[in-house]
Amino acid sequence: MQIDVVRLRDFYASPLGVVTARLVSARLGELWPDVAGRRVLGLGYAVPYLGALVPDGVVSRRQAERVIALMPSHQGVHPWPVISRRGNLAALASETALPLADGAIDLILMVHYLETSESLKPMLREAWRVLADGGRLLVIAPNRTGSWAFFERTPFGYGRPYSVGQLEAVLRTHLFTPTRRSASLFAPPMTSSAGLRALMAAESVGGRWWRRLGGVVLMEAEKRLYALNATVEPARARRLAPTPAVPTMNRNHKEPRP
């Protein structure tokens, strides 16, 4: 099931959405504490988590060299950031044909994207293509064992949720090596003042003791250059992952007689 950009924008403008972005962004900051000099791409609806990374002329470890946000056509797009000296940094893009050169990006943040993708294999193949060698992908996805996947009042209640093991398997199959992970949102998504306070209070305890019960999984993975017993279907035949050279036999070559 898909969710459109208007509902995504409205959720993150609500009190629950504001708290959600704050808590998840804190976990993101722990995984990516230093993005200075990096080229960052947000895929899906990552803009609530990209704002702090947009360069504004102030030297900071939390600000990247360049930040852009690409949103899938089935979702829609809106201008972002609302106020920026650099103008609009968001655009629509096909999830299987990103308008970027090979290896153009250092870090990809994928939010509200993997679980609703209409073309999972070519989509991940395309993310692999635009990442530089050794680049990192960070997926934020609904956790199958958490409570948020069961509530459609939030965007994390749409699409297919993943357990930690399932998410690791998907990434490994598509030439990414999981490196680190975290979790967030350890209380149900209640909209009352008491519910929001409980959500914030549960974050520190849950991050230490209940990581598998978080509403979302944050998983970082590194781009891998060679398959390890995995077959990946390319998005386009002209963009294949490098594979070891296989010696060929000259057609005029004859085997020696015994």
Name all domains of the chain by residue range, CATH numbers in brackets. 5-223 (3.40.50.150)
pLDDT of amino acid 118? 87
Report which of 26, 34, 40 is spatially closest to residue 183, judged by C-alpha positions. 26
Pairing outcome for strands 216-223 and 131-142: antiparallel
The neighbour count for residue 136, using CB atoms within 10 Å, is 22
Rg of the chain, C-alpha, whole Å: 20
Phi, psi dihedral angles at 24 (to 5 degrees): -70, -35
pLDDT of amino acid 235? 40
What distance in Å separates the CA atoms of residue 173 and residue 225, rounded to the nearest whole number? 12
pLDDT of amino acid 59? 47
Pairing outcome for strands 105-111 and 216-223: unpaired
What pLDDT tens digit does each residue of the chain (258 aa) get? Answer: 678 999 999 999 999 999 999 999 999 999 999 998 999 999 999 999 998 787 664 445 668 889 999 999 999 999 998 766 678 999 999 999 999 999 999 999 999 999 999 899 999 999 999 999 999 999 999 999 999 999 999 999 999 999 999 999 999 999 999 999 999 999 999 999 999 999 999 998 887 777 789 999 999 999 998 755 444 343 443 343 443 443 444 444 444 444
**Token pair 């060698």 in the structure block, residue:** 133
What distance in Å separates the CA atoms of residue 254 and residue 258, rounded to the nearest whole number? 12
Phi, psi dihedral angles at 139 (to 5 degrees): -100, 130
What distance in Å separates the CA atoms of residue 142 and residue 119, rounded to the nearest whole number? 18
pLDDT of amino acid 183? 96
pLDDT of amino acid 63? 81
How far, in Å, are 10, 35, 77, 145, 242 from residue 73 at the CA level?
18, 28, 8, 29, 29
Joined together, the tokens standing for residue 90 give 């968001």
